[in-house]
Structure 1
C-alpha cells in the first residue's frame, strides 16, 4: 500500500514537472512569437534612419554639385566677358599683317600721300578681318576694343591714344586661311594698297599672343539697364 502511494506521488511529481515544463515552453514560444514583430519593427526603424541619412547626404551632394556648377558657369561667363572686353591676353592661331609705307617715289604732279599709309587703310584691313571672323586683334601691341580709335596724328597713327610710326603690325586670332583669303581677295584691300606700292606682308601662325587692353574704362553717361527696364 505504501509502495502504491509512493508511486502515485512520483507520478504526480512527474506530471507537475511536465506541466511546468510545458507551461514554460509555451510561454517561451509565446514570448518569441510576440517579440518577432518588435524586432522587425526595430530593424525597419534602423533601416529607415540609415536611408534618411543616405538621402540627406545625397541631397547635400546634389546641392554642392549645383553650387559648383553654378559657380563654374558664372566663372565661365565672367571669363567670356573679360575676353570680349579685351582685359585679358589671348592666344591662338591667326595671322600677322605687317604694313609699311611705299618705297616707290611719287611721279611728278602726283599726290605723295597716295604712297603713305593712312588711318582709313588700317581701318579697312581691320574691318575685313572682323568680318572674316577674327576674335581678337591688336595693332603694335595695342589691343583693339570697342572704344579704340585709329586715326591719323600727323605722320603717325594714334591707337588707344598712343602714337605709332610705320611699319604697323596687326595681329588677329582666328582661322588663318580664312583671314588671309579675306585680305587677298581680288580687288580687295591688300590689292589696292599694293597698287600704290604699300608694302603688305601676311604670315600665318599656329599660335600668336594678343596682349590685354592696358587703358582704363570710363562711363559718364552710359548706365546698365536693370531687369524689367526697356
Structure 2
C-alpha cells in the first residue's frame, strides 16, 4: 500500500526546533572578529604608553636630551667592553691545564677592581683634575655632587676630593656632600675651598660630560665661580675610604 514512511525512517527530516535540533558553535568569522578586537586593544595600549614616553622626552630641554644620549652611548660602550672581557675570561678559564692559573689571575684582578671601587685600594691611571673656585658665593655642595654624578656617568673609575687645606677624602658610592659654614662636609670631613676632584677615567669622555650645555661647568660659572680642568696622562687617587666594622653581618655559606 502507498502509506507514508514511518517516523524516524530514512525519509524523516529533523525540524528546526526541539531537542533534535543541531547546536551551532562559534563561526570562523566570529573567532576572527574576536582576535582582531584583542589585537586592536593591545595596539592601543602600546600606543598610549609610547605617547606618554614620547611626551616626556618632548618636554625635556635640549641639554637634558644631549646628556641622556651621551650617558646611553657611554654605557653601551662600557657594556661592550665588559662583555668582551668576560668572553675572554671564559675562554681562558676553559682552556684546560692553564685554567687554574687563569682563574687565579682573574680572581686577583677582580679583587683589585672591587678594592678600587670600594675605596680600600689606591689607584693610578689617566684622568683629570678639576678645581672648583668660588666667586661671589661659595661653591654649592650640590654642584660638587652634580660633577661626581656626571663623571660617574662618563665612566669614572676612581675619585677623590681635596680641600684647600690639603686634606683628601675618597669618593665612593656612599659618599655624601653637605654645605656647612661656607665649607663642604664630605663624609664628615669639613673641607674648605677651593675644592679639587681628582678622577681616573677616559679624559676626553669626561671632558665632554662636564662641558655639555647646562652641565656643572655652566652652573658654577653662572654663579660667578670658576672651574679649571686639567688633563693628565697619570693621576693618583691615594686617599682611602675608612671601612666600618660590621656588627651583625657575617659571610654567608
TM range (shorter): 0.5 to 0.7
Q: Given that residues 145 and 213 in structure 1 are in contact (C-alpha distance below 8 angstroms), is that contact kept between their aligned partners in structure 2?
A: no
Q: 1:90 pairs with 108, 123, 145, which one? A: 123
Q: 1:71 pairs with 104, 107, 110, which one? A: 104
Q: Given that residues 142 and 211 in structure 1 are in contact (C-alpha distance below 8 angstroms), is that contact kept between their aligned partners in structure 2?
A: no
Q: Given that residues 131 and 195 in structure 2 are in contact (C-alpha distance below 8 angstroms), is that contact kept between their aligned partners in structure 1?
A: yes
Partner of 1:188: 215
Partner of 2:14: none
Q: Given that residues 92 and 207 in structure 1 are in contact (C-alpha distance below 8 angstroms), is that contact kept between their aligned partners in structure 2?
A: yes
Deviation at 1:176, TM superposition (A): 0.8
Q: 2:240 pairs with 191, 210, 213, which one? A: 213
Deviation at 1:221, TM superposition (A): 5.9
SS in 1 for 2:193: coil
Larger RCO (CA under 8 A, 6+ residues apart):
1
State the alpha-carbon separation in 2 of the partners of residues 222 and 151 from structure 1: 29
State the alpha-carbon separation in 2 of the partners of residues 120 and 220 from structure 1: 32
State the alpha-carbon separation in 1 of the partners of residues 114 and 172 from structure 2: 12
State the alpha-carbon separation in 2 of the partners of residues 189 and 83 from structure 1: 25
Deviation at 1:218, TM superposition (A): 3.5
Q: Who wins on radius of gyration, i.e. which is larger?
A: 1
Quote the RMSD (CA, aligned, Å). 2.1
Partner of 1:56: none
What are structure 1's unaligned runs of at least 5 residues? 1-61, 105-114
SS in 2 for 1:177: helix
- Decide whether aligned partners of structure 1 residues 223 and 149 sit closer, same or farther in structure 2, where only a CA change above 3 A counts: farther
What are structure 2's unaligned runs of at least 5 residues? 1-95, 163-167
Partner of 2:75: none
Q: Given that residues 156 and 163 in structure 1 are in contact (C-alpha distance below 8 angstroms), is that contact kept between their aligned partners in structure 2?
A: yes
Deviation at 1:122, TM superposition (A): 0.6
Q: Deviations over 1:27-84 (max 9, x none)?
A: xxxxxxxxxxxxxxxxxxxxxxxxxxxxxxxxxxx77x55433332322222222122
| Superposition misfits of 4+ residues, deviation over 3 angstroms | 65-70, 218-224
- Decide whether aligned partners of structure 1 residues 199 and 76 sit closer, same or farther in structure 2, where only a CA change above 3 A counts: same
Deviation at 1:222, TM superposition (A): 5.6
